[in-house]
Structure 1
């Protein structure tokens, strides 16, 4: 591995460790009662290092380590699979490819987003920056342009179904990935009511 590759791996691990400690402290003490100085101390980094990775407190929750892994797995799925099946397979591959219990990380993140008004408002703004890479990946998979209205609609449908599944899982204490997979299967089957 090159020096640049090692540096990027170290940055990735530092960012994830800071987030892990932040999420643990938010669970134990509450989001509002936890300071970023406490997060920095728990992660054994200086406050300036923490702010380099997470400029604001909401960023410690909103950072999503799953999306890049999902997109990589999604694009690696066989070309002959329908996009929704490729998405379901990628979701399951995410669970099997991480060193940490990513379902626990995501459950904590989603629970905080669902219950802390500041985070709920911030996530709506974040959607604008998070959806374009998905539109690009979905477009690439089906041989269309990312600004194709059908790609945009499809991306919105998948994102909407996934969001509602996340919220259901958080509200009911269910496994997020099981519920999202079930929701994507429902979408794949034409959403019969």
Structure 2
């Protein structure tokens, strides 16, 4: 059984500082959104709270919407999938990653994820922004599936499979938010993603 070898190089001091700044901006933005609401919070307020200039804010996030929409989950999932055995079915590989560090990250980020996902579903501007982000997620998933299967990511079957997986993710996250995040999100994925492998039972 073979695996893709992946080992991320340690970040240098400059990259670590950039990552810390990005996380601080996002953390302060979420705090302000929770306290004052998304619409009432300005970029200047976020920048002041994060102790950066507005121009620095825009170097990390092109728009206020991007603070909510952008995340590191897609790259983390892709990296985790590339470390799984290459002969493992795609859905089993995804479920395996959710039982590991990615599932722990989702649990650790629960409050922030709940806030930003609720905003994404409720705010019209964010909903529109999220359409493009979902398409990007589908392309990223198609790339990983194509790598694992030796097929072209533009192959219609690969694109449909990727779209179906992302659609299930989106539906389960919406359900999770509607339930105020009471359930374990990774467990929801583990219970319902296998539906895709079984096919429609009705």
- Residue ranges of structure 1 left out of the alignment (5+ in a row): none
Against the structure 1 CA distance between its residues 127 and 58, is the aligned structure 2 distance closer, same or farther, given a 3 Å change threshold?
A: same
1:13 pairs with 2:25: no
8 A Cα contact 1:106 1:176, kept in partner: no
Q: TM-score, normalised by structure 2?
A: 0.85
Label 1:88 to 1:45 Cα distance change in 2 as closer, same or farther (>3 A). same
Task: Measure how far apart 1:19 and its partner are.
Answer: 1.1
Contact 1:107 1:176 in 2 (8 A): no
Look up the match of 2:6. Answer: none
Separation in structure 1 between the aligned mates of residue 125 and residue 178 of structure 2, nearest angstrom: 18
Q: Which runs of 5+ in 2 are unaligned?
A: 1-8
Q: Quote the residue 2:151 is aligned against.
A: 144
1:80 aligns with 2:81: no
For 2:57, which of 40, 47, 50 is the aligned residue?
50
Is 2:89 the counterpart of 1:116?
no
Give the CA deviation at 1:191: 4.1
Q: Which has the higher contact order (CA 8 A, sep 6+)?
A: 2
Computed over aligned residues only, the root mean square deviation of the Cα atoms, in angstroms, reads: 2.2
Q: Single out whichever of 66-75 and 129-138 deviates more from structure 2.
A: 129-138
Specify whether residues 109 and 181 from structure 1 end up closer, same or farther in structure 2 by C-alpha distance, changes over 3 A only: farther
**Aligned with 1:183 (options 176, 192, 200):** 192
Task: State whether residues 146 and 153 of structure 2, in contact with CA within 8 Å, keep that contact through their aligned partners in structure 1.
Answer: yes
1:69 to 66, 73, 76: 76
Corresponding position of 2:38: 31
**Structure 1 stretches of at least 4 aligned residues deviating more than 6 Å after TM superposition:** none
- For this pair of structures, how many residues does the alignment match? 191
Structure (1 or 2) with the greater helix fraction: 1
**8 A Cα contact 1:77 1:86, kept in partner:** yes
Once the 2 structures are TM-superposed, how far is the Cα of residue 167 of structure 1 from its aligned partner? 0.7
Task: Give TM-score scaled by structure 1 length.
Answer: 0.88
